[in-house]
Amino acid sequence: MDIRSHFPILQQQIRSQPLVYLDNAATTQKPQCVIDTVNQLYTTLNANIHRGVHYLAEECTARYEAARGTVQRFINAQQNYEIIFTAGTTAGINLVANSFGNTFVHAGDEIIVSEMEHHSNLVPWQMLCERTGAVLRMLPFDDMGELDVEKLPALLSKKTKLLCVAAVSNVLGTVNPVAKIIAMAHSAGVPVLLDGAQGLQHSAADVQQLDCDFFVFSGHKIYAPTGIGVLYAKEKWLAAMPPYQGGGDMVKTVSFAQTTYADLPYKFEAGTANYVSAIGLGAAIEFLQTLGWDYIGEREQQLLRYATQQLQGIEGLQLFGTAAHKVGILSFLLHHLHPLDVGQILDQQGIAVRTGTLCAEPVMQHFGIAGMLRASLAFYNTEHEVDALVKGLLLAKKMLRA
């Protein structure tokens, strides 16, 4: 299968060099079928959803709701109304932190997050704690980048109102033992929010099997357009939670005396939804399903093994995140060199990597460093591109006199 031919952006040259795109943890590139879907919608079908009785409005609405069904089947939610379209992972977490948090979390209660969370799954909980007087507790990770799950029972108590954890770390690549964590939390009566932003890029998620209470992800990290994401929540929570934002489409009746809210899922979808990107997300999911998780998983693991071996061969390169079970995310430092300098030299070779704190400053603090470089792999990357990265890093060493 010539997988790369599906991704037009990968065919181009950047700075007169073939593009080597290794920033997939930040966002993934889009296959032609997703681009065509978005293009076709704007060219022939665009109209606001849930409002009009005309043909375009009804067609767009039907396709938006069909995309909701596609997501439901993709993550195996029990009900389609347990799928709330959001702007992305960050928006989904903020929805839960405000709606669930303001309702069920009070002064003296506790929220547990892990030490390896993206700022998206940390700052909204800090803000909730500030608002309510609740306390944030932290589950640490060890130097391989594996969560110290044995410490979890001591953190869980009657005060714990929610545990929030990433399925996969965006810095360390660690695949966390979420089934075990969820079972431990539930045995203490604590619901769990799973941040699937990195996890769903690499492997399937079955929310019923996992039994998570909340699951969030972003479309743009799974080959779909930007500006769309999903919050899955068990019906019992969505029914008990008040709306997060008010506006059009989330109401049943409105008068100055009283407003009643729409049924699920619309209660949580105020205003004009990003229906074009939602339909694009449906197309991206169908594309992933034609590839299959077996192909994606095997190809990415193959690339990860090769890249790990090659990077470890570079003298002075230090890898962060060496968990036994990880995805194709390689975060590293090269000697004492500043990640930004190295990143810029790679950029001159047409190689795109991420540099800096990777939106996870506590992870940097764990290792006592200011930032890292990160190469993150997708199934469309090649061994040849890994070789180009190695060559670029050796050039950076030479140019910066490491």
Chain contacts with ligand PLP (rule: CB under 6 A): 88-90, 118, 120-121, 166, 170, 195, 197-198, 218, 359
Spatial separation of the C-alpha atoms in residues 68 and 81, rounded to whole Å: 8
- Least CB distance to ligand PLP at residue 363 (A): 11
129 catalytic, yes or no?
A: no
- Least CB distance to ligand PLP at residue 117 (A): 7
Other CB atoms within 10 A of residue 352 CB = 16
Residue 277 or 349: the one with the smaller Cβ distance to ligand PLP is 277
- Least CB distance to ligand PLP at residue 233 (A): 17
Other CB atoms within 10 A of residue 43 CB = 9
- Least CB distance to ligand PLP at residue 315 (A): 30
Q: Which amino acid is at 46?
A: N
Residue 72 or 121: the one with the smaller Cβ distance to ligand PLP is 121
Six token digits for residue 190: 């604590």
In which element (H, E) is residue 114 found?
A: strand 110-114
Q: Closest Cα partner for 98 from 25, 194, 148, 162?
A: 162
Phi, psi torsion values for 211, nearest 5 degrees: 65, 25
Residue 166 or 175: the one with the smaller Cβ distance to ligand PLP is 166
Spatial separation of the C-alpha atoms in residues 117 and 359, rounded to whole Å: 9
Instruction: Specify whether the CB–CB gap between 344 and 399 falls below 8 A.
Output: no
Residue 101 or 199: the one with the smaller Cβ distance to ligand PLP is 199
Six token digits for residue 20: 């080597």
Residue 194 or 393: the one with the smaller Cβ distance to ligand PLP is 194
Instruction: Specify whether the CB–CB gap between 208 and 100 falls below 8 A.
Output: no
Residue 121 or 277: the one with the smaller Cβ distance to ligand PLP is 121
- Least CB distance to ligand PLP at residue 167 (A): 8
Six token digits for residue 200: 């769903």
- Least CB distance to ligand PLP at residue 89 (A): 4
Spatial separation of the C-alpha atoms in residues 302 and 319, rounded to whole Å: 18
**Which residue has 């045995």 as its token pair?**
187
Spatial separation of the C-alpha atoms in residues 11 and 71, rounded to whole Å: 29
Which of the residues 129, 164, 212, 359 is marked catalytic? 359
244-267 in b/e form (b: 16+ CB < 10 A) is beeeebbbeeeeeeeeebbebbbb
- CA dist 389 → 22, 42, 75, 336, 381 (Å): 9, 38, 34, 18, 12
Dihedral sign, Cα of residue 301, residue 7, residue 353, residue 176: negative
88-125 in b/e form (b: 16+ CB < 10 A) is bbbbbbbbbbbbbbeeebeeebbbbbbbbbbbbbbbbb
Residue 14 or 359: the one with the smaller Cβ distance to ligand PLP is 359
- Least CB distance to ligand PLP at residue 224 (A): 11
Spatial separation of the C-alpha atoms in residues 339 and 322, rounded to whole Å: 19
- Least CB distance to ligand PLP at residue 398 (A): 32
Instruction: Supply the residues annotated as catalytic.
Output: 359
